[in-house]
Amino acid sequence: MKHLPILLTIIFIIASGKSYSQTPISIGNSYTIESEILEQDREIMVYLPDDYDGSEKTYPILYILDGQWHFTNGVAIQKSLRVPDRLPEMIVVGIKNQNPLRRTLFWDKREDFINFLKDEVISFVETKWRASGERILFGWESAGYFSSFAIVHESQLFDLAIASNGSYISEETLQKFESLDIEKTKNLFIANSNKDIYSVESSESLVNLLEEKAPKNLSWEYQKFNEEVHESLAYTALYHGLTHYYHDFHSLVFESVEDFHSKGGLKYLEEYYQKRGERYGIPTEVDNSVKNSLIWLAWKRDDFESFKFFMSEFSEVLETKRYASAYWQNRLGQFYLKYHDLDNAISYFNTGINLYPDDYYLPEIYNGLGRAYKEKDNKKLAKKHLKKAVDLASKNSDERLERYKKDLSALK
């Protein structure tokens, strides 16, 4: 009997236990580069977009210094934003470094490190994978100083540098950059925080220099995120640096109808999408996302005149799959009914009935149709459809039944 407690324990585990399967999670692959320039083996991590193997597209490449810390940040931004809605799909490359070596390479041996990036990392990556030629460099702390230096020192190498928690360009380096004949403007995004007492002065000094010299071939932006500290700013800086650079990639979103008109209305829409398409090699037509959002915005703000305008201007979007449901036919019909546009209300209600005869929203549609005919003073059709709503709701124990009965009773 002395073994009884052990036996009971085993029986309990067997009886209550569940089996689980295990699958490794991977966000990329690691590669080792035998660097002749740095005379050491260097490890890089590479993430490919989800649709890489199934497409023939080329991709911008985001090169992340200190990949041992920040590579996952770059991948997370790609994943969480469900690209390419907010940002283009990118290949993300993380370059690992270790202290104290990283500080030496990012400062004392930065010329060697630039050559390592150019001749070994970029050469390897862009030979092996489909690159569009657009390159972004991200660095935090010591790597932030290096990134800001690299964008002007090696002017043909990167299109954008994001420098978080530290940045530096000497006046001499800036003057040399100014003298170059550069076809395409370079971009620098500087991020810091008042709470980063270690590096904020360096960022402020560089900003003062850039304001004074106003280099013609460099577009720069400085943003402070004063809720962040030295260790936490990297993720925020990377996200805001990317979205600032790709500010014209996403589908437009307006906070109000007034916002739409103040920016220029339909003309602004057309010009934005034309320029967007030319920059990114994508369609130049106004996309359905903004058309839908403007219709919904007017509906949500109870702005019937704007609703009618958008419904007319963007009528083709109403034929898309998004509106192919009784839910939407009812929703649009009810809004027209609310503002006594009875012909349009009846049209949408009838479409809902004809196309979706067994849908949950059918009683609501019949009720709306009855009320529309009541306003038209057609009591015969009003009674017919209001009664149909009651009958359907009665069969399905519909919680809206009492309201339908009340509408029918009011007609009588």
Same domain, 304 and 185: no
How many domains, the chain? 2
**CATH number, domain at 189?**
3.40.50.1820
Tokens of 87: 């940002």
250 is a domain residue: no
Each residue of 30-55: b (16+ CB within 10 Å) or e? eeebebebbeeebebbbbbbeeeeee
Same domain, 235 and 308: no
Q: DSSP 3-state assignment of 2?
A: coil
13 is a domain residue: no
- For 351-380, write each residue's pLDDT tens digit: 999 999 989 999 999 999 999 999 999 999
Whether the predicted pLDDT of 323 surpasses 90 = yes
Q: Which residue has the tokens 């739409």?
A: 260
Same domain, 62 and 174: yes
Q: What is the pLDDT of residue 246?
A: 97
Same domain, 320 and 214: no
95 is a domain residue: yes
Element (DSSP H or E) covering residue 138: strand 131-140
Each residue of 295-326: b (16+ CB within 10 Å) or e? bebbbeeebbebbebbbebbeebbeeeebeeb
Same domain, 166 and 292: no
State the virtual CA torsion across 85, 91, 97, 103 in degrees, nearest 10: -70
- Spell out the SS3 assignment of 240-288: HHHHHHCCCCCCCCCCCHHHHHHCCHHHHHHHHHHHHHHHHCCCCCCCH
Same domain, 172 and 294: no
Confidence of residue 327 (pLDDT cuts 50, 70, 90): very high
Residue closest to 118 by CA, chosen among 158, 145, 58: 158
Q: What is the pLDDT of residue 5?
A: 55
Same domain, 283 and 135: no
**Mean pLDDT of the chain, nearest integer:** 93
- CA atoms within 13 A of residue 14's CA, in its CB half-sphere: 6
Tokens of 130: 């489909």
Element (DSSP H or E) covering residue 391: helix 379-395
Tokens of 66: 């200190």
Rounded to a whole number, what is the distance in angstroms from the first to the last CA of the chain?
A: 83
What is the DSSP code (8-state) at residue 21? -
Q: What is the pLDDT of residue 279?
A: 94
d(C-alpha 88, C-alpha 86), whole Å: 7
Same domain, 239 and 268: no
**CATH number, domain at 340?**
1.25.40.10
Query: Pick from 245, 275, 305: which residue ends a domain?
Result: 245
d(C-alpha 35, C-alpha 101), whole Å: 15
- CA atoms within 13 A of residue 242's CA, in its CB half-sphere: 32
Residue closest to 145 by CA, chosen among 74, 201, 216: 201
What is the DSSP code (8-state) at residue 133? E
Whether the predicted pLDDT of 345 surpasses 70 = yes
Question: Which domain covers residue 234, as residue numbers?
Answer: 29-245
User: What does the pLDDT average to over 103-108?
Assistant: 90
Residue closest to 132 by CA, chosen among 89, 78, 77: 89
383 is a domain residue: yes
For 63-125, the DSSP string reads EEESHHHHHHHHHHHHHHTTTTTSS---EEEEE---TTHHHIIIIITHHHHHHHIIIIIHHHH
Q: What is the pLDDT of residue 23?
A: 83
Q: What is the largest CA-CA distance in the chain?
A: 93
Same domain, 46 and 136: yes
Paired residues of 190 in beta bridges? 163, 222
Same domain, 128 and 151: yes
Query: Pick from 245, 268, 287: which residue ends a domain?
Result: 245
- For 278-310, write each residue's pLDDT tens digit: 999 999 999 999 999 999 999 999 999 999 999
d(C-alpha 407, C-alpha 411), whole Å: 7
Paired residues of 192 in beta bridges? 224
Q: Helix 362-375 and helix 379-395: axis angle, to 10°? A: 160
2 is a domain residue: no
Same domain, 195 and 318: no
Whether the predicted pLDDT of 18 surpasses 70 = no
Tokens of 11: 């029986």
Same domain, 400 and 326: yes
- CA atoms within 13 A of residue 74's CA, in its CB half-sphere: 33
- For 46-62, write each residue's pLDDT tens digit: 999 999 999 999 999 99
Query: Pick from 213, 245, 277: which residue ends a domain?
Result: 245
179 is a domain residue: yes
d(C-alpha 242, C-alpha 62), whole Å: 10
pTM of the entire predicted model: 0.86
Confidence of residue 4 (pLDDT cuts 50, 70, 90): low
